[in-house]
Structure 1
């Protein structure tokens, strides 16, 4: 096997499930450190994270939204999320995309978030 083929097989090997599970737990932990400054609940519990993709090379792509398109931190929050995720040593890269379809609504919040905001 030549070096190019060897390198290619190393970069495309699927992540073992246990490793993916561990990384998923770490991602959730880091996402829970980012807060919407206007709401005292983290972005994960608010339901602002729509999708997290982790490649076999441990590149992370996150689709997230905001509670409102005109949110004053719209330009900053994706960077906060990227910074938090990049604190995980195993993560090679992180890219955060803002999406507004479907629009966020309070039904996306976890029970924990609803409890914190007295929405029960």
Structure 2
């Protein structure tokens, strides 16, 4: 199955850590909660539920590395979105820093959206 065809488990990078399990669970939940406060200005859904976040990695030093995409390479907020994500996730208690990597491989498609996002945009 190609990366395009499978649902990407954004928590995959979170499970390999020397951070105590309870703290890691709290951090991962809080990071995801922070990501859910960042909205695509053209679609009434947050970037996490839209499926724009491909990977979250919480390093042992509590640096959070996020690999994400946009709905289209020419998205008008392409230059601003990484800063919005850095600000939201950087405000999470215990996070030492945030790095956001933008990628368009694989490109985003609507099938990455959660059911919640599909309902929000009227596609479900």
**Same fold? TM cut 0.5:** yes
RMSD over aligned Cα atoms: 1.0
Confirm or deny that 1:72 pairs with 2:58.
no
In the alignment, what sits opposite 1:107? 111
* Shift in Å, 1:89: 2.3
In the alignment, what sits opposite 2:63? 59
Provide the secondary structure at the position in 2 that maps to 1:56: coil
Structure 1 or 2: more helix by fraction:
1
In the alignment, what sits opposite 1:87? 91
Stretches of 4+ aligned residues off by more than 3 angstroms: none
Larger radius of gyration: 1
TM-score normalised to structure 1 length: 0.88
TM-score normalised to structure 2 length: 0.85
* Shift in Å, 1:18: 1.0
- Gaps in structure 2 of 5+ consecutive residues: 1-16
Quick one: distance in 2 between partners of 1:64 and 1:34? Answer: 13
In the alignment, what sits opposite 1:6? none
1:69-100 deviations in Å (ceiling 9; x for gaps): 00000000000000000101200010001000
